[in-house]
């Protein structure tokens, strides 16, 4: 459906949420080339790299993965795209030592992000790091310090920030037509997720360097449920749906509201859908984040799709005059009903705003990676759609939600001290211990 004239005419300063398509016409000069290295080639790591390779002048020169079968598959995939030979590694540090490497894509499990990103920028490489940026609050702050010190360009894989219809929706939110926004709802209902089968520990698959896969995580016997995609349901490596989907939705909410860290957080949930499967993270969760002028509600559920407003995922900005709901399919605005005999917010009679569907022929991931390369080419981190500071805000909030769940308490954040107020249990969960001889980065 067509955008309203209101959207086109609203004059707001949106920053670098999304670059206009025309700015991507020539990202690289005729003699420029960007050499890419990939760490973690199984899922989003490869998707991000594929997207980067759509940009003329980019070339993959090295790939690192702990699974030889994944590397073999990706070499075949790349041979269909380019003619140059790609060197493969199982130790990412050898890849980072390549002097002709310009940028690295980090697509590993969350527990590796902090160490790898810090090593990458320390080696003088730009980086595209998958979300969430880290598996602890402390690591988020370490990563911000490392990027600040290095001066390198780092994009976070929260690609919704490059979505054009998200940009238009945020113009509505910031225009004031919704009235005072007192509540923001974010959610992810994932009906496709089914219970994992209980599987015993097993021998490490042939060609897998399991010790390298574990890295700084606690030493445990190999179990197929903890490997590849389903690692995200175990606390050693990730934070479940709260950090997996949560950072996407929280990122849009925080950016729209101009918010960073909350005043307090409380959460409740558990394994209510699949209580007997081996996953550790909650399959059902509600978390309430209190900010100075509004509350933010996060909720997720697996095995069902019918979330708020009948949508599987989204963000709703609830104002006195109306509510805007936006998700990956588009956005719609619902006007608040006028209250007879009351001259408050219900009588604003806000102009109707038509629903808007996401353009089907535009890849927001492609816009996000192009934005990244343009920022590198111009050596300007201010151009980034999702810089490390935005990525850390969403990740820190998501980690706080998990900490509130684990403690079962309402926890209060001291932003100046970067810790929780008078809560030893919560403060112990701010950081993670590195194992197996790996050292936590120090900046």
Mean pLDDT throughout 64-89? 96
Mean pLDDT throughout 8-31? 39
Return d(Cα 370, Cα 28) in angstroms, integer. 10
Question: Taking the chain, what is the end-to-end CA distance rounded to the nearest angstrom?
Answer: 50
pLDDT in tens, 137-183: 999 999 999 999 999 999 999 999 999 999 999 999 999 999 999 99
Q: Which of 206-210, 333-337, 419-423 has the lowest mean pLDDT?
A: 333-337
Return d(Cα 297, Cα 189) in angstroms, integer. 14
**Of 290, 334, 280, which Cα lies nearest the Cα of 310?**
334
Which of 77-86, 333-342, 404-413 has the largest mean confidence?
404-413
pLDDT attached to residue 339: 65
Return d(Cα 419, Cα 403) in angstroms, integer. 12
Looking at domain 5-160, its CATH architecture is 3-Layer(aba) Sandwich (3.40)
Containing H/E element for 397?
helix 388-407
Domain 161-428 has CATH 3.40.50.300: no
For residue 68, the 8-state DSSP code is H
pLDDT attached to residue 343: 57
Q: What are phi and psi of 52, to 5 degrees?
A: -60, -35
Q: What pTM, to 2 d.p., does this model score? A: 0.92
Mean pLDDT throughout 235-247? 98
pLDDT in tens, 274-332: 999 999 999 999 999 999 999 999 999 999 999 999 999 999 999 988 999 999 999 99
Extract the tokens encoding 206. 């042939």
pLDDT band per the 50, 70, 90 thresholds, residue 227: very high
Contact (Cβ atoms closer than 8 angstroms) between residue 156 and residue 247? no
pLDDT band per the 50, 70, 90 thresholds, residue 25: very low
For residue 352, the 8-state DSSP code is P
pLDDT band per the 50, 70, 90 thresholds, residue 347: low
DSSP conformation letters of 147-166: HHHH---EEES-GGGG-HHH
Q: Is the pLDDT at 27 greater than 90, yes or no?
A: no
**Count of Cβ atoms closer than 10 Å to residue 152 Cβ:** 22
Higher-confidence position of 339 and 224: 224
Q: Where in the chain are the domains?
A: 5-160, 161-428
Mean pLDDT throughout 391-395? 98
**Count of Cβ atoms closer than 10 Å to residue 268 Cβ:** 13
Q: At CB < 8 A and 24+ separation, what contacts does 90-95 make?
A: 90/64, 90/65, 90/66, 90/209, 90/212, 91/64, 91/212, 92/39, 92/64, 92/116, 92/119, 93/119, 94/64, 95/37, 95/39, 95/62, 95/63, 95/64
Query: Which residue, chain included where needed, has tokens 């097993």?
Result: 202
Longest dimension (CA), the chain: 74
Q: Is the pLDDT at 2 greater than 70, yes or no?
A: no
Q: Which of 64-68, 80-84, 127-131, 213-217 has the lowest mean pLDDT?
A: 80-84
Extract the tokens encoding 50. 């594929």
Query: Which residue, chain included where needed, has tokens 């003699």?
Result: 31
For residue 67, the 8-state DSSP code is B
């Amino acid at each position: 459906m067509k955008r309203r004239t209101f959207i086109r005419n609203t004059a707001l300063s949106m920053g670098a949420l999304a670059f206009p398509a025309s700015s991507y016409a020539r990202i690289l000069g005729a003699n420029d080339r960007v050499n890419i290295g990939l760490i973690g080639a199984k899922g989003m790591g490869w998707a991000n790299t594929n997207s980067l390779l759509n940009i003329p002048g980019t070339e993959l020169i090295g790939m690192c993965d702990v699974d030889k079968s994944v590397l073999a598959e990706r070499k075949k995939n790349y041979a269909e795209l380019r003619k140059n030979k790609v060197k493969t590694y199982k130790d990412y540090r050898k890849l980072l030592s390549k002097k002709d490497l310009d940028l690295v894509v980090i697509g590993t499990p969350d527990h590796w992000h902090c160490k790898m990103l810090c090593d990458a920028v320390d080696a003088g490489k730009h980086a595209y790091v998958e979300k969430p940026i880290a598996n602890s609050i402390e690591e988020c702050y370490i990563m911000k310090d490392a990027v600040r010190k290095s001066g390198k360009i780092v994009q976070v894989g929260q690609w919704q920030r490059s979505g054009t219809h998200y940009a238009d929706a945020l113009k509505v939110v910031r225009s004031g037509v919704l009235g005072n926004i007192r509540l923001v709802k974010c959610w992810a209902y994932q009906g496709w997720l089914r219970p994992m089968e209980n599987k015993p520990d097993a021998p490490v698959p042939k060609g897998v360097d399991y010790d390298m896969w574990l890295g700084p995580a606690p030493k445990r016997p190999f179990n197929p449920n903890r490997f590849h995609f389903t690692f995200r349901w175990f606390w050693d490596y990730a934070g479940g749906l709260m950090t997996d989907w949560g950072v996407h939705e929280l990122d849009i909410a925080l950016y729209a509201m101009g918010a960073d860290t909350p005043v307090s957080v409380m959460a409740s949930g558990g394994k209510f859908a699949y209580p007997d499967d081996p996953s550790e993270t909650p399959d059902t969760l509600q978390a309430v984040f209190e900010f100075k002028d509004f509350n933010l509600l996060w909720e997720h559920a697996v095995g069902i799709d019918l979330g708020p407003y009948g949508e599987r995922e989204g963000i709703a900005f609830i104002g006195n005059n109306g509510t805007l709901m936006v998700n990956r399919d588009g956005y719609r605005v619902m006007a608040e009903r006028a209250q007879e005999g009351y001259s408050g917010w219900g009588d604003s009679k806000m102009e109707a705003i038509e629903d808007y569907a996401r353009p089907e022929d535009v890849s927001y991931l492609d816009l996000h990676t192009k934005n990244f390369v343009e920022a590198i080419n111009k050596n300007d981190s201010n151009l980034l759609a999702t810089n490390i500071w935005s990525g850390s805000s969403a990740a820190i909030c998501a980690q706080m939600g998990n900490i509130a769940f684990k403690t079962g308490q309402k926890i209060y954040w001291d932003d100046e001290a970067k810790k929780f107020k008078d809560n030893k249990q919560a403060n112990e969960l701010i950081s993670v211990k590195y194992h197996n001889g790996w050292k936590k980065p120090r900046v």
